[in-house]
Chain A
Amino acid sequence: MELKEKLVSSFLAFENKVEVDIDSTVHDIRSKAFSDFESKGFPTKKDEEWKYTSLNAILKHDYNVFPKSEETLAYKDVKKYFVNETDCYNLVFIDGKFSSFLSETTHDGLDICVMSSALTKPKYKMVIDAYFNKLAGEKNSLSDLNTAFSHEGAYINIPKNKVVPKPIQIINFSTGNEQEILIQPRNLVIVGENAHVQIIERHQSLTSNTTLTNSVTEVFVNKRGIVDVYKMQNDVETASLIDSTFVSQQRDSVGSVHTFSFGGKLTRNNLEFYQNGEHCVSHMNGISILNGKQHVDNHTLVEHKAPNCESHEMYKGIYDGNSTGVFNGKVIVEQAAQKINAYQQNNNVVVSDKASVNSKPQLEIFADDVKCSHGCTIGQLDESALFYMQQRGIPKKEAKALLMYAFSNDALKDVKIPELKTKINEIIAKKLDVKIGFDL
């Protein structure tokens, strides 16, 4: 494969180019990851996990792996992509490079900064040794590829008992300066004992030049820690995203990841939760609203390794145009994990004749004292409800939109940042091409 060959030759150049690591640890991890990627290659539809998603179309581009120039952007031009009425810490990357101008970092009692420093500065060495690639290692060939080229991204380390006072916003812009670009952000989030943090993540292309983002985020939640991650995906139709997020939880912690997929050509979300201690709670919510030729594949995994834990999963999908949607959810309950409650819901509405949905909700249970359930539905909007609303004077389009709102609302109710919720509502309204004068 051409892209693969290009990556092979780029890897050596990359290794030479990045700042010299303090010792060989990170170098070894990258080399190992690269050889893993080389032997596995890009996944194909023959892989069970890629049965419904083909990468062929997006791999045939001649991606530039190293963007040439550092681009600056004026805040006023990109303001609309920020959650800006709420005060936030911002980590902004332009074509894969950190933009200090648009960012607000801190080292005041907590670290909100960039991976490139964390990977090279001695003071972070202990943390990097303890956490870096501990979750993403040997998971899939795309995370291996990211690890091999890991260099830049967000580094967030919240110490014990710290409640981060405002959300952290991570935004990756691609400017279109390159004809075709491959960006590989690498994020590391460590939530200390009893600490609490909210993170918003977004990838945005500013032109219609082809962008492929292969992002990896590792999240470690220590005892009693709480983390909420919101992933906003509303990119242009020439941008594709492969996101792999791994969350490891210690006892009494709560981890939530919300994935909102509204735009982009191909979006693949790999989301994996590992519960390592008792009384962990994990939430996975997702809303996909697609049209055109969009494709979204939500792949989730929850591994219950300890007793008395819970997981709640709810994914809603609305598919219009020629869009295709995939939901693949797997819940594994290991033998030691007794008294587990695991719930998985996937509800889909197919609006157009050309759209399609594939759903694969799986349970693998090795413990006996468990309560697990999954449900999956594929259907249409309720015709009688539509008629009822029309009879009361609501035009069909608005009535439909209203029903879709109602349908997806379950997965929206846990969004704890009001401004973000409003923004999502606006995007949904725009997507459905209606004006709705109220919040849900």
Chain B
Amino acid sequence: MSKYTEDDLKKELETQEYEYGFYTDIESETFPIGLNEDVIRAISKKKNEPEWMTEWRLDAFRIWEQMEEPEWANVRYEKPDFQAISYYSAPKKADPNKTLDDVDPELLEMYKKLGISVDEQKKLQGVAVDIVVDSVSVATTFKKTLAEKGIIFMPISEAIQEHPELVKKYMGTVVPKTDNFYAALNSAVFTDGSFCYIPKGVKCPMELSTYFRINEGGTGQFERTLLIADESSYVSYLEGCTAPARDENQLHAAVVELIALDDAEIKYSTVQNWFPGDKEGSGGVYNFVTKRGICETNAKISWTQVETGSAVTWKYPSCILKGNNSVGEFYSIAVTNNYQQADTGTKMIHIGKNTKSTIISKGISAGKSQNSYRGLVQINSRAANARNFSQCDSLLMGDQCGAHTFPYIEAKNSTAQVEHEATTSKIGEDQLFYCNQRGIDTEKAIALIVNGFSKDVLNKLPMEFAVEAQKLLEISLEGSVG
């Protein structure tokens, strides 16, 4: 019988190769491995940083040295040896001031493979892109178009030089150096990332996008993103991540800080597809990321993420709802397969009055993977009339995987209204038979059901990203389904 069973699917999933697992041979300049104050000074010097920045890094390093790697997350992995990583790797030909025409053709070829077109096509779609390979930004498009509106969108290394007052004022205010182990490490060694400032009253006319890629082996990537939306402004920001397939684990420890001033709105979308390791569970990226935003009065921050990659993920994009009437949203799809482990979720800290938050989290586990949702909803005593709605659903495929839900709900105000719902289920045999009977084969039926399951979140992504995300979802779970 030519029946496509779940076993067949599982087999196919196992043999499914990581589509972006190619390595581009670009000449790089890489620091020797190891971490100490000299290395930090060297990074800072390499970037021509002002003294205050060097000191800031050193301070973070000293804090980090006192800290211990956290163990509370529901993930098991071999702790990285922080002295065996190179903390700086730059494609040699990179020059922050050059235009796209100057970009290494090999790099452009790589982007093509990644499916990101840094060309006119993007212009038509109205997307400005900053690309970070390994540790440095190699190209930022449409700087000029944006500059006309007063929008600053550039590598953070440049922003430190050109807009030190903004960087100084905001960096570390949402994620302090002392926040956690990885954030402290990032603060000490970050080499690049994106900086964005939207002036008062400006609605950013195009989607801003950053593409991150780890290319060189044995390097860590520590990018730092700082995004400031001044009063009554609006921006939609996209972030994509890939890495080549390698045997050893690569470390990615980023920090993203969002600041939404009064009446501002930030929409931050991520499609994360770091190399998840092979089907035996070797290799893959350790993704330990701290993402947090702060909302002033009437401001809104919306996080949307589609997480399909990384061997180990540790990530909780959060909102501090400080201002009255501010709104926080978190929409997430996390897919784990083979030996992947994800511990992800969000924190919604309600401080201001009439603050509202929504959490929609969809976890899909397959293979031998473990997928955990961990979330905190905290209503502080002054947060009168705070509202939260959370929905966490898990879908299981196969009997070797696990799905876990760890919500923390803390309410200190009698006017708070919190609703949390969670379900765990599998794809039902009866659902599959129904689809089969209507002529849809099992593989396609699973794709259909998974898409239906994830729809609430996919709908929140900007159009073109949603298509990419949907494709990614199918790739990570189904393979040939298109």
Contact = CB atoms under 8 A, between A and B. Distances in A.
Verify whether A and B have any Cβ pair under 8 Å.
yes
B201 to A, nearest CB: 38
A433 interface: no
Interface residues on B, range: 35 or more
A425 interface: no
A350 B416 contact: yes
B424 A363 contact: yes
B48 to A, nearest CB: 44
Contact of B417 (A52, A356, A358, A378): A378
Interface stretch (B142-150, B220-228, B397-405): B397-405
B404 to A, nearest CB: 5
A355 B414 contact: yes
Interface stretch (A28-36, A70-78, A365-373): A365-373
Contacts of B426: 368-370
B404 A362 contact: yes
Nearest to B384: A353
B52 interface: no
Contact of A358 (B394, B399, B410, B420): B410
Residue of A338, A348, A355, A357 most packed against chain B (CB within 10 A): A357
A380 interface: yes
Contact of A368 (B399, B405, B413): B399
Contacts of B423: 371-373
Contacts, number: 119
Contacts of B415: 380
A359 to B, nearest CB: 4
Given A48-B72, A370-B426, A376 B418 contact: yes
Contacts of A364: 402, 404-405
B365 to A, nearest CB: 9
B425 A350 contact: no
Interface residues of A, number: 35
Q: Is the interface of A mostly helix, strand, loop or mixed?
A: strand
Given A363-B424, A373-B421, A375-B421, A351 B414 contact: yes
A300 to B, nearest CB: 15
Given A367-B399, A368-B397, A377-B420, A356 B409 contact: no
B411 A378 contact: yes
A339 to B, nearest CB: 10
B409 A378 contact: yes
B406 A360 contact: yes
Q: Is the interface of B mostly helix, strand, loop or mixed?
A: strand
B440 interface: no
A350 B414 contact: yes
Contact of A350 (B404, B411, B419, B421): B411
A246 B415 CA distance: 36
Contacts of B396: 365, 367-368, 370
Given A351-B414, A368-B398, A373-B424, A362 B419 contact: no
A140 B339 CA distance: 32
Interface in A316-371: 335, 338, 348, 350-353, 355-371
B422 A359 contact: no
A369 B396 CA distance: 8
A312 interface: no
Contacts of A365: 394, 396, 402-404, 424
Interface in B70-113: 72
Interface string A293-318: 00000000000000000000000000
B357 to A, nearest CB: 13
A418 B400 CA distance: 47
A61 interface: no
B236 interface: no
Nearest to A351: B414
A393 interface: no
A160 interface: no
A363 B410 contact: no
A334 to B, nearest CB: 10
B470 interface: no
Contacts of A162: none
B408 interface: yes
A202 interface: no
B381 to A, nearest CB: 7
B389 to A, nearest CB: 10
Nearest to B386: A378
Nearest to A355: B414
Given A350-B414, A356-B412, A369-B426, A376 B402 contact: no
Contacts of A356: 381, 410-413
B21 interface: no
B218 interface: no
Contacts of B420: 359, 361, 374-377
A276 B309 CA distance: 37
20 contacts: A338-B399, A350-B414, A356-B411, A357-B410, A358-B409, A359-B411, A362-B405, A363-B422, A364-B404, A365-B402, A366-B402, A368-B397, A370-B396, A371-B424, A371-B425, A372-B423, A377-B418, A378-B411, A379-B418, A380-B417
- 3 closest A-B pairs by beta carbon, nearest first, are A378-B418, A368-B396, A356-B412
Given A359-B420, A366-B402, 8 more contacts: A338-B399, A348-B411, A359-B407, A363-B404, A368-B398, A372-B423, A376-B407, A379-B419
Interface of B: 72, 379, 381, 394, 396-426
